[in-house]
Structure 1
Amino acid sequence: MTVDIQTGSPSKARLYTGYALTTLSILFFLMDAGFKFTTNPQVVEAQKQLQFPMQLTPALGVIALVCIALYAIPATTVLGAVLLTGYLGGAIAIHWRVGNPLFSHILFPIYVALFIWGGIWLRDANLRSLFPIVKGPSQPPAAKGALYTGYVLTALSALLMLFTALMKFIYVPPAGSPPPLFPPEHVHALGILEIFCVLIYLFPSTSFLGNVLLTGYLGGATAICLRGGQPVSTSLVTVYIGIVLWAGLWLRNLRVRALLPIRK
């Protein structure tokens, strides 16, 4: 089974703007990763303010470098953008947790994500046909086995996400429970955000956008678990959920297969 891949060249202005956004994103993350390996007093103080374990900071630097390397390679640039989205989702959650200002701190990773995805979107017609709304002629269907498996994975992951969102509204911790990992006053907002992202994921025309948003959400959950001292095995559960979410879309959408994990 094949799918038509759009190969038309973008205009020079669009192409150069895309490369400029991509370059700025790469330079920003290289700088950010470099700070993770320093003991500069300002960097140390910032980490203390975020209440993130200092012993995990070098690991964050390594993760950032791996993600940006994948993003910089043309064949894996979309995969790199997906991973960086999860990384930035972690940054949003950490800033939100400590009550930092909204526009200058909590939303700053979203501005960076717009540069990351905007750089690819301007240069790649295939991504523009998927993101943020599926466009163009309908694609040929995937093989039945892959299609049905994709629907099953999509349904299971969506139900799991909806269940965890519902629990944010009805679960009451027993008396004497350890302090919650996230401020209780923000838990309902998290539930609303989770439901919103799942709904976007379930609509075929916005499923790719929904998956990107859920990746950021799950990245935030991973960061909060690590910050709270949860075992790595527990913290990575959200990563596994993210893999299932993308697998469901990948199996049933041939256009996504053309972009992930290696752009063809």
Structure 2
Amino acid sequence: MNEVTSDQVGTYIARFINILVDYSPKLISAFLILFIGLYAIRLINRLIRRIMVKRNLDPTLTKFLADILLWALRILLFVTFISKLGIETSSFVAILGAMGLAVGLSLQGSLSNFAGGMLIIVFKPFKVGDTIEAQGVIATVEEIQIFVTKMITGTNQTVFVPNGALSNGTIINYSMQAERKADLTFSVSYDSDIKKAKDILLEVLLSNPKVLKNPAPEVFVKNLSASSVDFAVRPWAAKADFGSVVSDTLENCKVALDAAGISVQPFTLQK
């Protein structure tokens, strides 16, 4: 076995020192670029966030855009860093592209949710605090995330709906309009005085201070069914009062009709 002599060790050490001396400017400059770049990226990210907050952009959109900018600058800094070290970046970029394609194919559902989140954030079919109906769920929006929307139901259950399905489906926003109209149906027997029943139902609506006078509430014969005369009862209310107006209308109309001796058929409906 060949033994390594002291002269050979000295030669190797001399070569290593020469390489280190020759390479040290690149190494020092590369790490200077890295540390200065990381500091500059933090400053830029903070500045961008402040600008977007001052312009009253949606908080979810602000966070998302700031995060995208942060990672884009970090990737650019990393490519610059390895390029300064003398590493060929073209092959590295090709590897990143291949990895991105593979990840994209394996995460098609996640990318669909990501795109859906972008559409929701940009076009704003609803916002945090709105009550919506979508994907078979009626709930209040608590947080719009990039991949899912977090909602709280009336029974205090937390529901996460994928943004892809949410953005491609039908959304009913109950909070977008300042006023809402209830569409109730009261059915009375054919033996009842129709004119009297109509006047009673209308008086109940007009006597409720939470029912808006403009638009005016409506009461009219909706249908003559096989066993009853159906009245459409349609009060308008501010969205904050809508639930109580519906409840009060159902209760007060039933009480008023009973007091007048008008028989209410068991087909009262709510939409």
TM-score range for the pair, normalised by the shorter chain length: under 0.3
**Bigger relative contact order (CA 8 A; separation at least 6):** 1
Q: Which has the larger radius of gyration?
A: 2
